[in-house]
Copies of this chain bind each other. A is one copy, B any other.
Amino acid sequence: LSQHTTEVASSPRARITRADLLESFSRVRQCSEDICKPLATEDYVVQPAEDVSPPKWHLAHTTWFFEQVVLDRFEANYRPFHSQYFFLFNSYYQTFGDRWERPMRGSLSRPTVADIGEYRAAIDQRMREFIQRVDEEHWPAARDLITLGLHHEQQHQELMMTDIKYILAISPLNPAYVESAYSPAKSIPEAEFIRFSGGVFEMGTDDNDGFCYDNETPRHRVFVKDFQLMNRLVTCGEFLEFMKDGGYEAPTLWLSDGWDWKIRTGRRKPLFWESVDGVWHIMTLTGLRPVDPDEPVCHVTYYEAAAYARWRGKRLPTEAEWELAATTVKASPEHGNLFEDANYHPIPCQPDSGTSGMYQLFGDVWEWTGSAYLAYPGYKQETGALGEYNGKFMSNQMVLRGGSCATARDHIRVTYRNFFHCDKDWQFTGVRLADDT
């Protein structure tokens, strides 16, 4: 459980002070609770699909991380807050032993939301004391683990947003997370394909640059052919053309596993779309409303993204292409529709929101790439719990890039690799097309 064995004194990480960390800790922890403020108690409890965890579970699990991974490791004779919580709130860490099984998270009414509030408060208090008290010898390792825990909590904040969305969206009552009138876009840029020059490109990062996940390391060289990338995200209007052209009924457009998925699920439209009196509507965190043809299509699986691309005679970008393009145009999370912008949904592309004619690289939707989620050359999977954080998921998943409207601005970066199985659709996932030159 030692993520970073060497320390470069001048690295950004080494410059983090206890005060810095206390500030980050308070801010990130508070954010999770702020996210839940609009919820009814009942909304914290349910798990309408296996992937969708109850918000109260997220609140507890992110707390568990600090308790089991930090406090229980560093504090001598640590006495857990509750004898069952290590068991109840471990997610998937085999290193920490048995756990309450995932599909049953929504079966537990106890501990209650209030109980979990007490758990959070108690661990927050212990953590603040720990940050101030830990000795210099253990400080670097503790600091790094706590930093990881905060990024972990930010990941769960995004999951909370998408899980809350799912929980509210399946109700025939169509409750909104927050009420907000939708104002459609005036106009969006025409779709264009921008050409990028390839060659040997250095992608990924090294972990002494600042915080990153181990799956982004090491920085390494790849050879990339010249390619073209669409200047913005694919819109709902463009996706509707695919639907109207029979895209969901044309097996030769689909991957074999994708077609099987389509038949099995009966899917004929993106998740959260429904037809109301013949008009396509979309359920969002601000309620049910008609689809805006100019907004980015989202909640599509890899299979739908790939079928759409094939129908258009294009393809999905590789993650190297995405990273090369974003690096080339100096794309930055400063721009983009992210969590802090409080739109809670992708918004139509506006020319001033991007960089150099390449729009929406950050925020709005996670962009499916055509790259499998695998180790970078030279990647070292940690032993112990940290090895379970990313490395054990390196099969059957695809990489997504760029963050979404539910991603925190200081959580995303150009080397960030998100990953999901091809049939997942409940995240804010969308499409940008690529082409050869």
Q: Can you pick out 24 interface pairs between chain A and chain B where the beta carbons lie within 8 Å of each other?
A: A41-B42, A41-B113, A42-B45, A42-B112, A43-B109, A46-B46, A47-B107, A87-B172, A94-B259, A100-B172, A104-B170, A107-B167, A110-B175, A111-B173, A220-B225, A252-B388, A252-B392, A255-B392, A256-B388, A310-B381, A315-B375, A377-B436, A396-B396, A396-B422
Within 8 A of B (CB), among A371-390: 371-372, 374-375, 377-378, 381, 383-384, 387-388
A155 → B minimal CB distance (Å): 16
A113–B113 Cα gap in the complex (Å)?
A: 15
> Interface code A314-355, partner B: CB below 8 Å = 1, 0 otherwise?
010010000000000000000000000000000000000000
Contact A306 B255 (CB under 8 A): no
Contact B255 A394 (CB under 8 A): yes
Within 8 A of B (CB), among A68-105: 84, 87-88, 92, 94-95, 100, 104
> Interface code A352-374, partner B: CB below 8 Å = 1, 0 otherwise?
00000000000000000011101
Extra A-B contacts (5), CB below 8 Å, given A42-B44, A46-B106, A256-B393: A88-B172, A224-B377, A252-B387, A372-B372, A378-B436
A280–B49 Cα gap in the complex (Å)?
A: 35
Instruction: Note all chain B residues with C-beta closer than 8 A to A436.
Output: 377-378
Within 8 A of B (CB), among A128-170: 167-168, 170
> Which of B42, B94, B259, B370 is in CB contact (< 8 Å) with A375?
B370
- Whether A108 is near chain B, meaning CB under 8 Å from some CB there, is yes
Q: Chain A's interface: helix, strand, loop or mixed, by majority?
A: mixed
CB closest chain-B residue, reference A303: B395
A400 → B minimal CB distance (Å): 14
CB closest chain-B residue, reference A437: B378
Contact A107 B106 (CB under 8 A): yes
- Whether A276 is near chain B, meaning CB under 8 Å from some CB there, is no
- Whether A254 is near chain B, meaning CB under 8 Å from some CB there, is yes
Instruction: Note all chain B residues with C-beta closer than 8 A to A38.
Output: none
- Whether A223 is near chain B, meaning CB under 8 Å from some CB there, is yes
Contact A110 B255 (CB under 8 A): no
What 8 pairs between A and B have smallest CB-CB spacing? A372-B372, A48-B107, A94-B251, A42-B109, A223-B223, A43-B109, A41-B41, A256-B392
> Which of B92, B221, B315, B395 is in CB contact (< 8 Å) with A255?
B395
Q: A92-B256, A94-B252 are in contact. Are A170 and B112 (CB under 8 A)?
A: no
Contact B375 A170 (CB under 8 A): no
A374 → B minimal CB distance (Å): 6
Instruction: Note all chain B residues with C-beta closer than 8 A to A374.
Output: 370-372
Q: A87-B172, A172-B84, A396-B396 are in contact. Are A45 and B225 (CB under 8 A)?
A: no
Contact B167 A109 (CB under 8 A): yes
Contact A257 B387 (CB under 8 A): no
- Whether A302 is near chain B, meaning CB under 8 Å from some CB there, is yes
Instruction: Note all chain B residues with C-beta closer than 8 A to A92.
Output: 256
- Whether A40 is near chain B, meaning CB under 8 Å from some CB there, is yes
Contact B42 A395 (CB under 8 A): no
Contact B252 A377 (CB under 8 A): no
CB closest chain-B residue, reference A43: B109
> Which of B56, B84, B173, B388 is in CB contact (< 8 Å) with A173?
B84
Instruction: Note all chain B residues with C-beta closer than 8 A to A108.
Output: 46, 48, 170-171
Q: A44, A170, A255, A377: which has the most chain B beta carbons within 10 Å?
A: A377
A113–B112 Cα gap in the complex (Å)?
A: 15
Q: A172-B84, A221-B223, A370-B374 are in contact. Are A113 and B42 (CB under 8 A)?
A: yes
Contact B378 A225 (CB under 8 A): yes
Q: A106-B46, A220-B225, A252-B384 are in contact. Are A258 and B173 (CB under 8 A)?
A: no
Within 8 A of B (CB), among A281-302: 302
CB closest chain-B residue, reference A225: B377
A303–B396 Cα gap in the complex (Å)?
A: 11
Within 8 A of B (CB), among A391-405: 392-396, 398
- Whether A16 is near chain B, meaning CB under 8 Å from some CB there, is no
A315–B172 Cα gap in the complex (Å)?
A: 40
Q: A84-B172, A370-B374 are in contact. Are A109 and B394 (CB under 8 A)?
A: no
